[in-house]
Amino acid sequence: LYDVLSEMGQLTLDDLNELIVNGNEFDIVPSHLRNFRLEKPLYSEARGVESLKLALDRLTVDYDYVIIDSPPNLGPLADGALLAAENVLFPSHANTIAKDSLEILFDEIDTL
C-alpha cells in the first residue's frame, strides 16, 4: 500500500498488479509500517488523499468487492479510504465513546 500511495503518479497498471498478493479466495495489497510516513505528503500534495481512490479505480474492474482496512484514526490515510469507499463499516463497542466517535466519523465523511 505504501508503494501505491507514495508512487501513484509513476505506477503503471502492471506495477499495481505486481503489488497484489493473489490468494485462493481473495487477493490483498499488503500494508506496511512505513505508511505513517505518508501522512504529511498526502496532505501537502494536490489531491493526495485521493491517491487510493485513483489506484482502486484502475483495478476494480477485476473485483466484485474491495475491502479497505484503514487506520483507527482520522488523517489522510483514513480520509483516502473514506473517499475510495462506496460503503463504510465501523466496528466498535456499543458505548458512549463509540457513539461520539461515530458522530465524528460522520462529520468527517460529510466534510470529504
Q: Per-residue confidence at 83, pLDDT binned at 50, 70, 90?
A: confident
Mean per-residue pLDDT, 49-54? 79
Q: Which residue has the higher pLDDT, 8 or 65?
A: 65
Q: Per-residue confidence at 28, pLDDT binned at 50, 70, 90?
A: confident
Q: How many CA atoms lie within 13 A of 76 on its CB side?
A: 21
Domains of the chain, earliest start first? 2-111 (3.40.50.300)
Confidence (pTM): 0.69
Q: Which set of grid coordinates corresponds to residue 94?
A: 456499543
Average pLDDT score over the chain: 78
- To 10 degrees, what angle do helices 51-59 and 76-84 make? 40
Q: With CA atoms as reference, report the closest residue to 83 among 57, 45, 46, 65.
A: 57
Q: How many Cβ atoms from other residues are within 10 Å of residue 56's Cβ?
A: 20
pLDDT digits 0-9 by tens, 31-46: 666 666 777 666 666 5
Q: Which residue has the higher pLDDT, 69 or 49?
A: 69
Q: Per-residue confidence at 47, pLDDT binned at 50, 70, 90?
A: low
